[in-house]
A and B are shown apart, each in its own frame.
Chain A
Amino acid sequence: RSRRGGTGDTGGTGSGMDAPSAAGLGGADPQLQRFIEVETQKQRFQQLVHQMTELCWEKCMDKPGPKLDSRAETCFVNCVERFIDTSQFILNRLEQTQKSKSAFSESLSD
């Protein structure tokens, strides 16, 4: 048992199986290969739901009441959207700064 995707992850993967292709796993059996791909995908989804629920609970839930009121529900939905936005923003900006860095170092090394 280990705690994955608790505080540090920025919404990327979080699950143990990160294989971009399942070719190495499941060997030559295409059925197993497909199964592994599908289950890995499902697990990524589950892990992110766990992580976002934990984060958004802190932001959206005061005192647990007899039901989830509409204000809290809206907050959760917004929270999910903004979390994905944040994740995308970080990736995009990182990509941009990497590009400008390599352009810079290329002009230096000539």
Chain B
Amino acid sequence: MESGFGSDFGSDFGSGGGGGGKLDPGLIMEQVKVQIAVANAQELLQRMTDKCFRKCIGKPGGALDNSEQKCIAMCMDRYMDSWNTVSRAYNSRLQRERANM
């Protein structure tokens, strides 16, 4: 993701690996993976919030009532189920395409 690559790395490599101040690629790769995972989680949460707000909140009241909260909780689980279903279906399709090449 855009913000994950390179912006925050500067200060983290003071000690590096061994001597001569060389950057350890392994460390860089691990940090990048973490950044990517965080970015993906944020993306998921943002879209889930959007969808569940639309499904569960009618006219916004002074607080989230019980039915709204239950709806949001169910919605979150269903969104995760949907995401996993889509991920599996897309993966299958990709594998099928590769097999046909």
Question: Interface of A with B (CB < 8 Å)?
Answer: 1-4, 15-17, 29, 31-32, 35, 39, 42-43, 45-50, 52-54, 56-57, 60-61, 63-68, 72-73, 76-77, 79-81, 84
Contacts and interface: CB of A to CB of B under 8 A. Distances in A.
Given A16-B5, A32-B25, A80 B86 contact: yes
Given A35-B29, A53-B47, A68-B78, A73 B85 contact: yes
8 contacts: A4-B1, A16-B2, A16-B5, A17-B5, A45-B94, A46-B40, A49-B83, A80-B93
Interface of B: 1-3, 5, 25, 28-29, 32-33, 36, 40, 42-44, 46-47, 51-52, 55-56, 71, 74-75, 77-79, 81-83, 85-87, 89-91, 93-94
A80 B28 contact: no
A47 B44 CA distance: 10
A28 B51 CA distance: 44
A39 B87 contact: no
Contact of A64 (B1, B40, B74, B90): B74
Contacts of A60: 82
A29 B86 contact: no
Contact of B47 (A35, A39, A54): A54
